[in-house]
Structure 1
Amino acid sequence: MTKAMRAALEELARRAPHELVALVKEEWGKRYGRAARLGKNPSKPKTRIKETGEDVRLLLRYVHRYLSALRDGEQVQALRQIFVQNYALDAQDRPKWREPEDAGLPPSALALAIVSPYDSSARYVRRGETRWEGFLAHVTETCDQGTPSVITDVTTTKESVHDTKALPGILTNLHDRNLLSKEYFVDGGYLSVALKQQVAREHGAGQVGPIRARSTRQSRKGTVFPREAFAIDWDKKTVTCPQGTVTSRWASPPSLAPYITASFTVADCRDCPVKTSCTRTDARTVAFMPRDLHDIQSESRTEQRTQEWLSRYSLRAAIESTISEFVNGHGIRQCRYRSHSKAHVQHVLTAIAVNLERIDVHLPTAPNRQPRAPTALQNFLDWQRIPRPRSWRVATHPTG
C-alpha cells in the first residue's frame, strides 16, 4: 500500500505539481519521499497500516473532489483498487485493514488481487516456499544424451493459470514449430491422469512424471483399507471390500473431474469389526476414476516405484540447473518490463542467451590467427635497419 501511495503521488507530481502544494506536508515527505523498504519485520506495522490508510483515503477524496481531470491516471486508479481490496470503512468512515477472514478480500487464486501499482496484470505467485509478485515462466528443453540441452519453448503465464492448464498450450506451441518430442519429463505439477491421456491422444507424446498418491486419512495414518484395497468389478459395476462385502450403489455424479463413486450401506458397515479403521462416517464410499483412466493411474503408480523408472526420470533434474541459470545467471526474477506480453519478451530473450552460451561451449575451438608475413618494403626496411612501426599482425625478423 505504501508503494501504491508513493506511485500515485509521483504521477500527480508529474502531471500537476502545483495541485499538491496544499496537500503534501512534511509527514508525507518522510513516508513517501523515497521507495519503501519495509523488510520482513517492519517497525510499528499497525501504526504504518493506520497512517497509510488515512493518507490514501485523504488523497483519493482530494483527487475526486478537486482534481477530476487527474482521476483517470494509471497509478491513481491502481491506488484506488488496492485501497478497496485491502481496506474497509468502519462505522465512523475510517479505513480499517481487511483481515483474511473478512469478506471482500479478493483471493490471489481468482486473479483479482492487484499487487503492483505499476503493473495491474501482475499477481502474487507462490510455488512451494518461493513467493514473488509477477508472472510464471515455464521452460522446456531437450535432454538428449551427448548433445547440448537446448531450450525449445518459454511460456509466460499469470499466477492463476495452473501448471496443468499451461501444458496444453506449451505442446501446441511446440507442434506449431515442429518441435514436438515423443516423450516429456515433467514435474508432478504438470501431470494428471486425464492430462496424460489427452496428451497421448492429441499429440502422440508420453509424459514421464510422478502421479501423486491419493491423500486420505487412511493413507496418511498408514491404517488398513486404503482405496487400493477394494476390488473393482467393472462389468458388474460393483466394489468388494477386503471383508467381502459388495457395494449396492454405483454412480457417476456430475463434477469437473470424471469420477465414479461406489457406496456401501449403513447395514453393510454397522457391524464391521474394522469399521473404525476404515471410515468415520456411517458407511464407506469409495471414489475412483473411470476404467480407462483408472488403468493409466494404476500402471503409472506401479511403474514409478521401479528403479528403472527412477533412473529415467533423473533426466528431469537437469531442468533445475536451467532454472538456477535463469535466476542466478540472468536475473529472470527481476522483471525489466511492465505487462505480461513484455515480460514474455524478456523470458524469450533470456532463453536465447542461454542457448547461445550452451552452443558456444560445444563449438570447436577457433584456430589461432597467424600473423601476416612482412611485405617486400618491410623486409627492405628491416634489411637496411630503418625503423618502422611494428604491428602485432605482422611477423617480424630479427634485425641483428
Structure 2
Amino acid sequence: MVLLQFAEGLTDRQAAEAVRARIDWKFALGLELTDPGFDFSVLSEFRDRLVGADGGRSVLDGILAAAQKKGLLSKGGKARTDSTHVLSAARELNWLELVGESLRAALNAAARVEPDWLGAHALPDWFTHYATRIEDSRFPRAQAKRVEVGRRIGADGMRLLEMIWTDGTPLALRALPEVEFLRQVWVQHFHLVEGEVERRGPKDRPPGAKRLVTPYDPEARGSVKRDTFWDGFKVHLTETCEPETVHLITNVATTVATVPDDRMATVVHAGLAERDLLPGEHWVDTGYANGGALVAAHRDHRVALHGPLKSVTVPHARGEAAFGQDAFTIDWDNQHVTCPNGIISTQWHQRRSEDGLPTIRVRFSPADCRTCPQLRQCVNSPKAQRREINLRPRDEYEALQQARKLQQTDEWKDRYKIRAGVEGTISQAVQACGLRRSRYRGLSKTSLQHQLTGAAVNLIRIDAWLTGKPHARTRTSPVAALRPAA
C-alpha cells in the first residue's frame, strides 16, 4: 500500500481513503470490497518500523529481485547516476529566525520537563518574546535595530545555558535535544567580547557541513550548487540504461546537502555490489569523476567509470600551456620531475590535501628557477621564486591522463549522450512522487522516502514496459524546433 501511495504521490490521509474507497486499490492489495481500511495514523507507525529495520532498502531490493526473476534486470551492462537537491520538511529560516526559534524550542522543552524550575528562573520578558513563533514577530527594518535584536536573543540564550549548567539545576535539562541544539547554535554564532554577547564574524563561523540551519530538522544542512541554494539533503539515483530494456532504479543514496558528488562513486558501487548489480560501464557527470574514483571503480569492482573530468583552472598548469603540467616529465621510479628546460626537481614529498586525500608535492630549487628567463610564464604568483607541482598518486595520475585523452575523441562524446537520460528519471521522481521535498524530518526518514520513491518509480516503469507504453520523447520547445541545422 505504501508503494502505491508513493507511486501516486498521496498523503497519508489520501492513501488511507484510497484503501477504503477505490476499487483498483482493493484489487491490487487483494482486499474484499467491503474492507473498511484503517486509520491513516497507522502509516506513521509503520514507517517508524521501516526506518528501524532499513525497510526502505528491503522494499527496493524486493522489486529488483522480482524483476530479475522475470528477466527484466541483469547485472553488467550500462548504468548512469546523477544527484538532485532535496528540501527539508522544515521551513527555511533566516539568521534571526534560526537563533530565535532555537531558543524558543529549548524554552518549550524545558517547560515540559521542569515547569517549576523554568517558572522560577525565567526573565519576565521571555514570556513576551518567546511565547509564540518567531516568524510571527515583526523584526525592525533598520539594520542597526536588527543587530540589537540579535544581541538580545544571544544574551537571553547565553543566560539560559548558564542557568542550566549551574550546580543544582535538574540534570534532565542538560539531556534535552533542544537544549543541546541551542548550545551548538550559540557556539557557532555567538561569543563573548569583553563580557558582552556578540555575533561571530563570517570568517569565525563553522563551514556549511557543520552549520545548523533549523532546530526542527537538526540533520539538515545548507548548500549551494551554481544558482541553487537550499537547506536539506541530496539524493543520488542510479538506473540501468541498456537500450531496448526497461530502465530500473538500482540504487538510491541519500546524504546531507553538503556531501560532494565526488565522494559518492565508491558509495554507489558498494551498494550495487551488495545487490550483485554492478554495471560494466557507469556513466556519470563531472561531479562524480576524479582520479581516485576512476581507479577505485576499476580496482575494486571492475567497473569502467565514465564522466567528464574537471578542467584545470590554473593557467600555467593547463596541459596546453607552454609550461603546463603535461610539459613536465615525471620519473616515478626515481621520484623527480624534469621541466621543459631540462631542470630537475629537488624535492618530492608525500602529503595530504585539505580533504585528506594523498598527494605528492614536487618543488624545484629557487636557485635554478630564479635565473630562468621564463619564470613568470611558469609560475602563477608574481612573487613566487620557484615552480611547485601537486601530483596525484601514480595510478590516479595515469588514469586521469588516459581518461582525458579518451574524452577528446568523437566516439566517447557520442557514447556519453547516454547519461542525459537520468535527468528524465529525476524529473519523473520529482513530478510523480514528490522527490524534491522531504515529507519527513531527519536523514533516516528522508532516506526511507527516497528508497520507497525509487521502488515506486520502478513499479510505474515495469507496468509501462509490460503494457507496451513507449518511453516518452524529450520535449522540444517551438523556438528550439526552428533552430537551423548545423
- TM-score, with structure 1 as normaliser: 0.76
Q: In terms of mean alpha carbon deviation, does 226-235 or 275-284 score higher? A: 226-235
Within 2, Cα distance between the matches of 1:58 and 1:115?
22
Within 2, Cα distance between the matches of 1:268 and 1:54?
59
1:150 aligns with 2:248: yes
Residue type matched to 1:48 in 2? V
Residue type matched to 1:273 in 2? P
Residue type matched to 2:308 in 1? P
1:299 aligned residue (386, 402, 405): 402
Identify the residue that residue 96 of structure 1 maps to in structure 2. Answer: 198
Q: In terms of mean alpha carbon deviation, does 265-274 or 61-70 score higher? A: 61-70
Within 1, Cα distance between the matches of 2:162 and 2:361?
56
Identify the residue that residue 251 of structure 1 maps to in structure 2. Answer: 348
- Contact kept, 8 Å, 2:222 with 2:258, in 1: the verdict is no
Identify the residue that residue 267 of structure 2 maps to in structure 1. Answer: 169
Displacement of 1:206: 0.6
Residue type matched to 1:87 in 2? F
Count of aligned residue pairs for this structure pair: 359
1:138 aligns with 2:236: yes
Provide the secondary structure at the position in 1 that maps to 2:238.
strand
1:275 aligns with 2:378: no
1:339 aligns with 2:442: yes
State the structure with bigger RCO (CA 8 A, min sep 6), 1 or 2.
2
Which of the two has higher C-alpha Rg?
1
Within 2, Cα distance between the matches of 1:43 and 1:28?
25
- Contact kept, 8 Å, 2:319 with 2:327, in 1: the verdict is no
Within 2, Cα distance between the matches of 1:318 and 1:150?
12
Within 2, Cα distance between the matches of 1:257 and 1:266?
27
1:51 aligns with 2:148: no
Within 2, Cα distance between the matches of 1:263 and 1:60?
51
Within 2, Cα distance between the matches of 1:263 and 1:58?
53
Identity, in percent, stands at 35
Distance 1:211 1:31, change over 3 A: same
Distance 1:126 1:228, change over 3 A: same
Within 1, Cα distance between the matches of 2:151 and 2:111?
24
Q: How large is the RMSD of aligned CA atoms in angstroms? A: 3.4
- Contact kept, 8 Å, 1:193 with 1:296, in 2: the verdict is yes
Residue type matched to 1:52 in 2? I
Distance 1:28 1:309, change over 3 A: farther
Within 2, Cα distance between the matches of 1:140 and 1:84?
39
- Contact kept, 8 Å, 1:184 with 1:207, in 2: the verdict is yes
- Contact kept, 8 Å, 2:361 with 2:389, in 1: the verdict is yes
Q: In terms of mean alpha carbon deviation, does 312-321 or 226-235 score higher? A: 226-235
Within 1, Cα distance between the matches of 2:430 and 2:100?
27
Within 2, Cα distance between the matches of 1:250 and 1:268?
13
Identify the residue that residue 76 of structure 1 maps to in structure 2. Answer: 179
Within 1, Cα distance between the matches of 2:407 and 2:141?
46
Within 2, Cα distance between the matches of 1:187 and 1:303?
15
- Contact kept, 8 Å, 1:114 with 1:122, in 2: the verdict is yes
Identify the residue that residue 11 of structure 1 maps to in structure 2. Answer: 109
Within 2, Cα distance between the matches of 1:234 and 1:16?
67
Instruction: Write the mapping of 1:209-228 to structure 2, written as runs, cut at 5 A.
Output: 209-219=307-317, 224-228=322-326
* 1:153-212 Cα deviation digits (max 9, x unpaired): 111223564433333232122111111111111222222212211210111111001222
Within 2, Cα distance between the matches of 1:289 and 1:225?
18
Within 2, Cα distance between the matches of 1:264 and 1:21?
69
- TM-score, with structure 2 as normaliser: 0.64
Displacement of 1:234: 5.0
Displacement of 1:145: 1.8
Residue type matched to 2:348 in 1? A
Displacement of 1:38: 9.2
Distance 1:25 1:322, change over 3 A: farther
Instruction: Write the mapping of 1:321-360 to structure 2, written as runs, cut at 5 A.
Output: 321-360=424-463
Within 1, Cα distance between the matches of 2:294 and 2:350?
23
Within 2, Cα distance between the matches of 1:215 and 1:233?
25
Provide the secondary structure at the position in 2 that maps to 1:132.
strand
Identify the residue that residue 208 of structure 2 maps to in structure 1. Answer: 108
Structure 2 unpaired stretches of 5+: 1-98, 470-486
Within 2, Cα distance between the matches of 1:248 and 1:335?
53
